[in-house]
């Protein structure tokens, strides 16, 4: 399978714990995006990278959230001191060089905070 891969697919944690999600984009895709989706809503933009550079981070994003893409390949999204409101599906997408625009989404990492 050469699509976007996310790990873990499901994570259940207790409030106050830290969690980390990993995204492996499609090979040679230089842009990588993180979105969050809650039930019945559209994906909400969190942040995106071009290669290893984080180009934009949502103003709504708490400082408990941090994302990295150290070598311009895979990315991690860490949530510190989780809250029940963080429960959601975390979607990663990648996009190839050029301006075609299509985002290729992974199947997401579902977080449940108890």
Q: Which residues bind other proteins (CB under 8 A)?
A: 4, 31, 33, 35, 40-45, 48, 56, 91, 93, 95, 98-103, 105-108
Give min distance, CB of 22 to other proteins, in A.
15
Q: State in angstroms the smallest separation of the CB of 2 from other proteins.
A: 15
* CB closer to other proteins out of 7 and 17: 7
Nearer to other proteins, 20 or 31 (CB): 31
Our CB check for other proteins shows the closer of 74 and 105 to be: 105
What phi and psi values does residue 105 have, to the nearest 5 degrees? -90, 150
Helix, strand or coil, per DSSP, at residue 34: strand
Q: Are strands 109-113 and 53-57 parallel, antiparallel or unpaired?
A: unpaired
CA distances from 37 to 14, 43, 47, 98, 108 (A): 20, 5, 13, 26, 9
Residue 72 C-beta: closest distance to other proteins, Å:
16
């Amino acid at each position: 399978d050469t699509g976007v891969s996310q790990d873990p697919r499901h994570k259940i944690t207790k409030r106050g714990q830290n969690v980390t999600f990993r995204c492996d984009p499609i090979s040679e895709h230089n842009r990588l995006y993180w979105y969050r989706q809650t039930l019945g809503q559209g994906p909400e933009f969190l942040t995106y990278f071009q290669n290893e550079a984080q180009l934009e981070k949502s103003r709504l994003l708490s400082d408990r959230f941090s994302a990295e893409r150290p070598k311009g390949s895979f990315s991690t999204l860490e949530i510190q001191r989780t809250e029940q409101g963080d429960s959601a599906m975390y979607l990663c997408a990648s996009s190839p060089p050029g301006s075609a625009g299509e985002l290729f989404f992974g199947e997401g990492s579902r977080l449940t905070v108890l």
